[in-house]
Amino acid sequence: MSGVQTRPAEATPNRDECDVVMNLSASQRCEFVKNTPDCASDEGFIKYPVVTFCLFPPNLLPLAITLYVLWLFVLFLLLGLIASDFFCPNLSAISSTLSLTHNVAGVTFLALGNGAPDVFSAMAAFSHPQTAGLAIGALFGAGIFVTTVVAGSIALVKPFTVASRPFLRDVIFYMAAVFWTFMILYKGHISMGEAVGYLGLYIVYVLTVIVSAYVYNRQKHQLNGSAQTSGSERGEILPSDAYREIPNASIQAHDDGEYEPLLPYTRSTAQIFLNAINPVDSRTWRRQHWSAKVLKVIKVPVEVLLLLTVPVVDTDKEDHNWKRPLNSLHIITGPLVCVLTFQSGKYGLLLIEGEVPVWVLILCIGVFLSGIVFFTTTNERPPKYHFLYSLLGFVVSALWISTVASEIVSVLHLLGIVLSLSNTVLGLTLLAWGNSIGDCFADITIARQGYPRMAISACFGGIIFNMLFGVGLGCLLQIFQTNNVVMLEPEGMLCWVLSGALGLSLVLSFILVPLQCFHLSRFYGIFLLIFYIVFLLVALLTEFRVIQF
């Protein structure tokens, strides 16, 4: 298990004391978890060790584990829902408001939107020494999963020729990020300068994408009059993560024109509000598969809560998704969510001069501002300052993501304690799979629609962002909070197996793909899938000490 400590480099690392709880008798466990700081250090709202060992009888421990696995499934669903339906649209609106080009938007706001679950999960895991192994395992595990399983599946579904220069660019930058992380783990600690260097490397990557796109566009314009532009390099026009923008639009778009009323009518304020918080589209409900309906029923309560608290600005709509009654309410609920979810709500519950809680003050200010907005605007036309709602939506949805990510990390920490598994193996399996499976299905769907080049580019661009921001920002926040270096101390061989496997997969891609003239065949896809299966087998055998190095 990888440990992280924010203390001087010469200090001796402390073991997670909560690990020994399973060695105690059942009657001693509840008192132990209540009095052990490591068992209560998670930032989630639910104290899982206390719930597990104080509320569940010892003979119902398997039931508790089953419930936690189901709860993990729900949390991963919520993480994807918030990122796709609330976080990403607001980032897109901010990008449009700032009039950013596709290249800049793709490697900044769009990359942040796609990588939000991974980055926030890593930041939550890095926040405590006991759970840092989850971050290392998840970032490296997701990297191997994407570069083997996802890339291999795309090649199986749609063999294609990858754009050469963008592919080599992304692989080289990702190899640099992985090698840098390997050196940090070998050294055992990361300083502020090195953490900032992670962010600096991503800035270099962004500039490289922009410059290469600019050079390519100039060359294309110069050759436009004399020769046809080769289609094999078209993937370089947009950056890696920007490829998601086009296919997602084609996948999710549907012709609403047939549902538009023939004659215009005016809806009341109450109708606008009720329609705005209704997440079920009755027009498509009857055509959905029963499994999709079950999933929708599970998500409906949370979707209603999110609709009530997170404003969404949609620049593709004529009214930019302006809903006067709901947007007025957002001025109250949005700041309340911020103050009650940040740092598990400890700042929102603080008393001002020992009498008034902070959240009450925020509520009063929100009600005042909400009244001003409601009585100075109309239902038909959004106000000039409507773009500011995208900033509010960005902050609120980011805090929701951070809250859910903290709960996921806390549950995985508890499962590691109960099942005697290291955080690293939980990170490279459950956390990595949970964060990557949605992107995997999306990329395979994109490939089936005839855009395999877009799908493969989205794969590599996303994991570069996740690695550099996940480690860099996560460690940087810890350094700011403690004013000390962050200790990264891998315990056992699993961490080295993980980093070595990721490095090997990248080197193989860097060598084998050019040798195949950048054509990804079904045979190469099968090779990548076999590589991941072998890696996973070696990692699990190493975890259970069947294989010892």
Judge whether 272 and 323 are in contact, CB under 8 Å: yes
Strand stretches in 390-531, DSSP E: 486-490, 519-520
Please check whether residues 207 and 349 belong to one and the same domain: no
Q: Residue 189: enclosing H or E segment and its boundaries?
A: strand 189-190
Judge whether 314 and 89 are in contact, CB under 8 Å: yes
- pLDDT tens digits, one per residue of 215-248: 877 887 777 655 544 444 444 444 444 433 444 4
Please check whether residues 377 and 397 belong to one and the same domain: no
Residue 95 CA to residue 47 CA, distance in Å, equals 38
Residue 513 maps to which CATH number?
Answer: 1.20.1420.30
304 part of a folded domain: no
481 part of a folded domain: yes
Task: Choose the final residue of a domain: 357, 381, 405.
Answer: 381
Residue tagged 């405590």 (tokens): 128
Of residues 531, 541, 548, the one with CA closest to residue 425 = 541
Task: Choose the final residue of a domain: 381, 400, 424.
Answer: 381
Please check whether residues 428 and 456 belong to one and the same domain: yes
The residue range of the domain holding 140 is 64-215+391-544
Task: Choose the final residue of a domain: 348, 381, 414.
Answer: 381
Residue tagged 């994109």 (tokens): 446
Answer yes or no: is pLDDT of 515 > 90.
yes
Q: How long is the chain?
A: 549
291 part of a folded domain: no
Give exposure, 282-295, as e/b (b: 16+ Cβ within 10 Å). Answer: eeeeeeeeeeeeee
Judge whether 142 and 458 are in contact, CB under 8 Å: no
280 part of a folded domain: no
Q: What is the pTM of this model?
A: 0.76
- pLDDT tens digits, one per residue of 393-415: 988 998 898 888 888 888 888 88
What phi-psi label fits residue 418: left (phi over 0), alpha (psi between -120 and 50 degrees) or beta? Answer: alpha
Domain count, the chain: 2
Q: Quote the percentage of the chain above a pLDDT of 90.
A: 23
243 part of a folded domain: no
Lowest mean pLDDT among 119-133, 142-156, 231-245, 523-537: 231-245
Strand stretches in 129-168, DSSP E: 160-161
Answer yes or no: is pLDDT of 105 > 50.
yes
Answer yes or no: is pLDDT of 10 > 70.
no
Q: Which residues contact 242 (CB under 8 A, 6 or more apart)?
A: 102, 103, 105, 106, 107, 110
Of residues 236, 248, 180, the one with CA closest to residue 208 = 236
Please check whether residues 94 and 120 belong to one and the same domain: yes
Residue 323 CA to residue 210 CA, distance in Å, equals 37
Please check whether residues 472 and 444 belong to one and the same domain: yes
- More confident call, 125 vs 533: 533
Residue 275 CA to residue 268 CA, distance in Å, equals 11
Answer yes or no: is pLDDT of 531 > 90.
yes
Sheet containing strand 189-190, strands side by side: 2-6, 486-490, 189-190
What does residue 4 show for φ and ψ, rounded to 5 degrees?
-125, 130
Judge whether 366 and 335 are in contact, CB under 8 Å: yes
Residue 99 CA to residue 137 CA, distance in Å, equals 37
109 part of a folded domain: yes
308 part of a folded domain: no
Please check whether residues 76 and 198 belong to one and the same domain: yes
535 part of a folded domain: yes
Per-residue model confidence (pLDDT) at position 130? 66
The angle, 0 to 180 degrees and rounded to 10, between the axes of the packed helices 61-82 and 109-126 is 150
Lowest mean pLDDT among 22-26, 397-401, 440-444: 440-444
Judge whether 7 and 484 are in contact, CB under 8 Å: yes
Please check whether residues 126 and 191 belong to one and the same domain: yes
Answer yes or no: is pLDDT of 11 > 70.
no
What does residue 356 show for φ and ψ, rounded to 5 degrees?
-105, 125
Lowest mean pLDDT among 11-25, 250-264, 494-508: 250-264
Per-residue model confidence (pLDDT) at position 102? 60
Please check whether residues 537 and 408 belong to one and the same domain: yes
Please check whether residues 429 and 372 belong to one and the same domain: no
Q: Which residues contact 4 (CB under 8 A, 6 or more apart)?
A: 126, 128, 129, 132, 135, 475, 478, 486, 487, 488, 489
Taking the alpha carbons at both ends of the chain, their separation in whole angstroms is 16
Give exposure, 202-220, as e/b (b: 16+ Cβ within 10 Å). Answer: beebbebbbebbeebeeee
What type of residue is 496? W
Please check whether residues 93 and 197 belong to one and the same domain: yes
